[in-house]
Structure 1
Amino acid sequence: MGTNYVIRPETPADYAAVENLTREAFWNVYRPGAVEHFLLHRYRSLPDFVPELSQVLEAEGRIPGHILYSRAELHREDGAVLPILVFGPVSVLPEYQKRGYGAALIGHTLTEAAEAGFGAVVITGSPEYYRRFGFAEAKTLGISYDGVPRDEPTPYLQALELREGYLAGGPWVYRDPPGYVASDEDVDAFDARFPPKQKLRLPGQL
């Protein structure tokens, strides 16, 4: 990846391009079609959306990359709540993938999140990929996944402290924010705004 790119907060003028690139990035990857572009569209109107960290990457006169951040919470048995961040989707147009643009977006925004005073980030994703950014299996930091027995491994649940000791005081339970759940009917209605694409069931989908 060259250095001729810019990362900046998205603006309303970027919304259509960002939703399209997110659709292209995830189409038929995890399911037939995609849901991520709808979740992104809806999140901008939710109170947990963090606009200053939801950023685009510009390169070659285009916007080939984008990352979404939102607020979430960890919960403790005694009712204590700890505010955290989550990010995703991280979207890169297929023809721009494998160039390091996704990593650039993640690294840049994690630095900005730390500078802004946020305490920790929790995500679900590949341990091998996210280890490079300092993420560790959430269980090692006292965080379990809601609905999963505590003795069951959850290597895909990853956590990163942005402030040392922020996650002390657990054990904590992580719950997916409600904004990350969508009905097929809502997704299909939103997707009708875009040019038709063929939904395919492919090996490796969830």
Structure 2
Amino acid sequence: MTKYTIRQETQQDHAEVYQLIKTAFETAKVKDGDEQDFAVKLREGKNFIPELSLVAEDNGKLIGHIMLTKTPVAQSNGERYEALLVAPLSVLLAYRDQGVGASLMKEALRLAADLNYEAAFLTGDPTYYQRFGFQSASKFGITCPGIPDQFTLAYEIIPHALNSIQGTIGEW
């Protein structure tokens, strides 16, 4: 088992994180091919939260990364509910199945709770993400345009946070 540390991403990590995401998604089951560029766009956007951009490091080498950014849920009453978007979660192939992704997810959600966020969303493989408590966002009446319901997932950081929230996840 690899020993690694999880820490906040720094500006000096950006180039290595870009390559890590690109390399990790080359061997991913589900991919768009532009995940690394999407991460750059999120990092440069107004919804970026530096405290929620984390890396896993093994002896000075970055082996995993996760980013949570703010995302709105546009409700039918015109109000916006501020939640988090988990994207992307990346682990290099040689370090998969060693708990790196799970450690990154758990730490990111713990920090999100410390920052008083109530819910997080992602698009991805339900089989993988259900282990962390993610469930279909459609269960709450929440959808994401262009993404099939079975791949749009929600996590209540605060139990029952989404009970009265219905709508559409904002621009990603």
Q: Same fold (TM over 0.5)?
A: yes
Superposition map of 1:24-39 within 5 A? 24-27=23-26, 29=28, 30=30, 34-39=33-38
Counterpart in 1 of 2:159? 164
Higher relative CO (CA 8 A, sep ≥ 6), structure 1 or 2? Answer: 1
Deviation at 1:38, TM superposition (A): 1.4
* Alignment RMSD: 2.0
Higher strand share: 2
SS at match of 1:88: strand
Which residue of structure 2 aligns with residue 51 of structure 1? 50
Q: State the alpha-carbon separation in 1 of the partners of residues 66 and 31 from structure 2.
A: 20
Alignment size in residue pairs: 171
Task: Give the 3-state SS of the residue equivalent to 1:52 in structure 2.
Answer: helix
Map of 2:168 onto structure 1: 173
Please name the residue that 2:140 is paired with.
141
Any unmatched runs of 5+ in structure 2? Answer: none
For the pair shown, the structure with the greater C-alpha radius of gyration is 1
- In terms of mean alpha carbon deviation, does 162-171 or 85-94 score higher? 162-171
Q: Which position in structure 1 is the counterpart of 2:88?
A: 89
TM-score (normalised: structure 1): 0.76
Residues 78-87 or 38-47, more deviating: 38-47
Alpha-carbon offset, residue 22 of structure 1? 0.9
Indicate the larger mover: 138-147 or 111-120.
138-147
Give the letter aligned to residue 145 of structure 1.
C
TM-score (norm 2): 0.89
Q: What code does the residue aligned with 1:155 have? A: Q
Moved over 3 A (4+): 28-32
Q: 1:31 to 1:154 in 2, by over 3 A?
A: closer
